[in-house]
Structure 1
Amino acid sequence: MTDSSPAAEPTRAEVDNLAGATLLEFGASWCGHCQAAQPAIRSAMQLFPQVRHIKIEDGKGRRLGRSFHVKLWPTLIFLKEGIELTRLVRQSQAQELNDSLQSITAP
């Protein structure tokens, strides 16, 4: 698993060109919903070590979140070859998270 919080968020063009399976996690460090989701996300990511996980600090003036029309946190966007296949917003069911990760890793 690659879990990164880049100092500078990637551009939309960089995200669109990502190879393989990627989970974009939009949120904020102070967000209670984001904090509550972390154990489930960490657990699911352990089952899918081949998925790139990019945490993006979102908020006012953050272009990447706006380009994905992120409104609530956390928003999890599941990409395969840079294309969004599904998303979860304020996900609460571990099975939904696992199913979404499975969808981007399936051949």
Structure 2
Amino acid sequence: MEEAKRDGKIVIANFSATWCGPCKMIAPLYRELSEQYPSLMFLVVDVDELTDFSTSWDIKATPTFFFLRDGQQIDKLVGANKPELQKKIVAVVDSIPVSEK
């Protein structure tokens, strides 16, 4: 998070779990998107490994995706909705000034 803040990168944090079927279903797309948009920082947070951290983000369902700019939430998506995830990422990328892409 500190690195993203320093570099001015938008972070997409995927709160997921190894036992979560929808998380497994969307994981390949999430990986693909991380390769497609190197100007963003993609993180995966295992809610079972980082319980306290996940609780501090008030995670009620997995997967939950947070979109963060300068450590502040700018968007959120709950559930493995592939078209919606792609749409939100494109919107975030479109919001980045051309000089930073």
Give the unaligned 5+ runs of structure 1. Answer: 1-14
Amino-acid identity (%)? 23
Give the unaligned 5+ runs of structure 2. Answer: none
Residue equivalent to 1:99: 87
Q: Provide the TM-score with structure 1 as the length reference.
A: 0.71
The counterpart of 1:41, out of the listed 22, 30, 51, is 30
Match runs of 1:8-23 below 5 Å = 15=1, 18-19=4-5, 20-23=9-12
Partner SS, residue 34 of structure 2: helix
CA contact (8 A) 1:23 1:54 kept: yes
CA contact (8 A) 1:26 1:74 kept: yes
Moved over 6 A (4+): none
Supply the AA of the counterpart residue of 2:24.
Answer: Q
CA contact (8 A) 1:28 1:73 kept: yes
Q: Distance in 2 between matches of 1:61 and 1:53?
A: 17
Displacement after TM superposition at 1:81 (Å): 1.2
Residue equivalent to 1:89: 78
Q: Provide the TM-score with structure 2 as the length reference.
A: 0.75
Residue equivalent to 1:8: none
Q: Distance in 2 between matches of 1:17 and 1:47?
A: 20
Q: Distance in 2 between matches of 1:99 and 1:81?
A: 21
What is the Cα-based RMSD across aligned positions, in Å?
2.2
Q: Distance in 2 between matches of 1:50 and 1:18?
A: 10
- Greater percentage in helix: 2
Displacement after TM superposition at 1:86 (Å): 0.6
Deviation digits for residues 63-92 of structure 1, max 9, x if unmatched?
A: 111111111001110111111111111131
CA contact (8 A) 1:44 1:97 kept: no
Q: What is the count of residue pairs matched by the alignment?
A: 92
Q: Structure 1's 84 and 57: CA in aligned 2 closer, same or farther, altered over 3 A?
A: same
